[in-house]
Structure 1
Amino acid sequence: MPDSVAVVTGASQGIGRATAIRLARDFTSVVLVARNRSHLEDTAAQVRAAGAGTRVIDLDLSAPAAARTVVDEALAAFGRIDTLVNIAGAVPQIDLFEMTDEQWDAGMALKLHGARRLTIEAWPALVEAKGSVVLMSGNSAIFPKAPYAAVGTINAAIAALAKAFSDRGITDGVQVNSVMPGAVLTGRRRSYLEHWAPAHGMTVEDAISRFPQEAEIERFGQAEEIAELIGFLVSPAARWMTGSTLRMDGGEVKSV
């Protein structure tokens, strides 16, 4: 895409980082947003190596004013926004009966409200560009369980929010979809398993092998695989796809 700009949140690690690097193949510039400056700089180096310009914005999207800052800086640097990919927002896996109000609210503030605010703030630029938006949901939206009730609830809300934005987008010329990954072996998930595995009498590698067996899937997914799906979604080839939630989970969800 000539003179095109993508904004990717959560770009410091995991799926966000992989997506930013993937979009550098198709966009002339990629704006990287996350809280960790040093990790963002690592992503920026790979984006530049792929041939795209970049700008790093390190802030916390749970703050109400952060969305306006991102849009202002992106437009000041590159003059347009063609694609927005909302990935920021790790929600802790804490049992429904143990999670505090503060932990619940923090997850909502970053993943749900952060994406909502940023999409609204970027909307005029996206309308002008006839652009696209992707919001990151997850399989837990389909089968929420007590051990990860908050992430399931928030992911379900994200999918509904994307659908609402897509309805407005039909009138305004903005494509909006959501992505629902299954179990992806990101650095964050590996870190979680490093704490979980010893408490259950197994090694991390044992835990990595055990989960796919219990979920009846071949293996964990890779961040780059989700990034390729997002790359397709925001490409001209997928332009007629809007208001959809695309699941990529290795067959974990058995229902139709």
Structure 2
Amino acid sequence: MATAAKFKNRRNTTSDKVAIITGASQGIGQATAIRLAREFSRLVLVARNRANLAETAKAVEGAGAETLIVDVDLAEPAAAQAVVDKALAAFGRIDALLNIAGAVPQIDVFDMTDKQWNDGMALKLHGARRLTIAAWQALKASNGSVVLMSGNSAVSPKASNAAVGTINAAIAALAKAFSDRGIEDGVQVNSVLPGPVMTGRRRSYLEHWAPQHDMTVEEATARFPKEAGIARYGEPEEIAELMAFLVSPAAHWMTGATLRMDGGEVKSV
């Protein structure tokens, strides 16, 4: 389903452009949508949870942008084209696509089932791939930008997060492939590798993990940054600032880049 909300008292933005943000119902996706309302006057908010999308839309409209809610499951093959069709019907153009949707469970490589592998790939990898392809001609027409969300595990996979690392590495490689075509077509494509970010999903994980290891949630929360060799968790709003930069005119010559924002977690050059 899709709903367009016209914001009558829209404040001035730097452009009348349109951005699609997936995973916009929570976490980094939600923070990115709210941040982009400063620069994009029309935002297409995509996720499965319509109620949470409505909360994001309220914040985005309060920041001055018009919204279109599209509640779909991007793991479904037909969903990507549906998102693009609705965005173009409502707003007539697409200037930026930020592929943020997709959570992959952190399960040991020997314990992951085929279904868990396939479900993770269907949403995070294939959902982003299909949506980028579906939006490509509109992005080509606008000399637009694409960002694909990967993660630090792409460059530092472990047995405990094999699926996350494998899928994130594939996304980073996919972004490189899209950027190569984008040089010819005038579409900028980059990928972002966040480190540990304190999202609602991470809080839920810590609340589940802590009692299983005879810890309080506070103790578990303090433990993981130390193990990662960082001072603290990142915040969704910090990643959102990087996303906003990548789809801004200031970064338009940056393409094919794989950017880490991780508080120093990855120690290699």
Same fold (TM over 0.5): yes
1:245 and 2:251 equivalent? no
Equivalent of 2:115 in 64, 81, 102: 102
1:152 and 2:184 equivalent? no
Matches within 5 A, 1:1-256: 1-256=14-269
What is the identity, as a one-letter code, of the residue corresponding to 2:83? V
Deviation string 1:77-121 (CA, Å, 9 cap, x unpaired) is 100000000000000111111111001000000000000000000
Deviation at 1:69, TM superposition (A): 0.2
Write the distance in 1 (CA, Å) between the matches of 2:111 and 2:71.
31
Write the distance in 1 (CA, Å) between the matches of 2:228 and 2:176.
28
TM-score norm. by structure 2 comes to 0.94
Write the distance in 2 (CA, Å) between the matches of 1:173 and 1:44.
30
Segment drifting more, 205-214 vs 24-33: 205-214
What is the identity, as a one-letter code, of the residue corresponding to 1:253? V
Write the distance in 2 (CA, Å) between the matches of 1:168 and 1:143.
27
Segment drifting more, 199-208 vs 178-187: 199-208
Write the distance in 2 (CA, Å) between the matches of 1:152 and 1:197.
23
Write the distance in 1 (CA, Å) between the matches of 2:138 and 2:167.
26
Write the distance in 1 (CA, Å) between the matches of 2:218 and 2:71.
33
User: What fraction of aligned residue pairs are identical, expressed as a percent?
Assistant: 75
Deviation at 1:216, TM superposition (A): 1.2
Deviation at 1:2, TM superposition (A): 2.3
Q: Which runs of 5+ in 2 are unaligned?
A: 1-13
What is the identity, as a one-letter code, of the residue corresponding to 1:246? L
Deviation at 1:147, TM superposition (A): 1.0
3-state SS in 2 of match to 1:168:
helix
3-state SS in 2 of match to 1:33:
strand
Deviation string 1:165-198 (CA, Å, 9 cap, x unpaired) is 0000000000000000000010001100100011
Write the distance in 1 (CA, Å) between the matches of 2:115 and 2:60.
35
Deviation at 1:208, TM superposition (A): 1.0
3-state SS in 2 of match to 1:80:
coil
What is the identity, as a one-letter code, of the residue corresponding to 1:213? K
Write the distance in 2 (CA, Å) between the matches of 1:79 and 1:130.
15
Write the distance in 2 (CA, Å) between the matches of 1:80 and 1:110.
24
Deviation string 1:51-96 (CA, Å, 9 cap, x unpaired) is 0000000010000000000000000010000000000000011111
Write the distance in 2 (CA, Å) between the matches of 1:154 and 1:214.
23
Q: Which runs of 5+ in 1 are unaligned?
A: none
3-state SS in 2 of match to 1:213:
helix
Deviation string 1:179-236 (CA, Å, 9 cap, x unpaired) is 0000001000110010001111111111111111111111000000000000011100
3-state SS in 1 of match to 2:227:
helix
- CA RMSD in angstroms comes to 0.6
TM-score norm. by structure 1 comes to 0.99
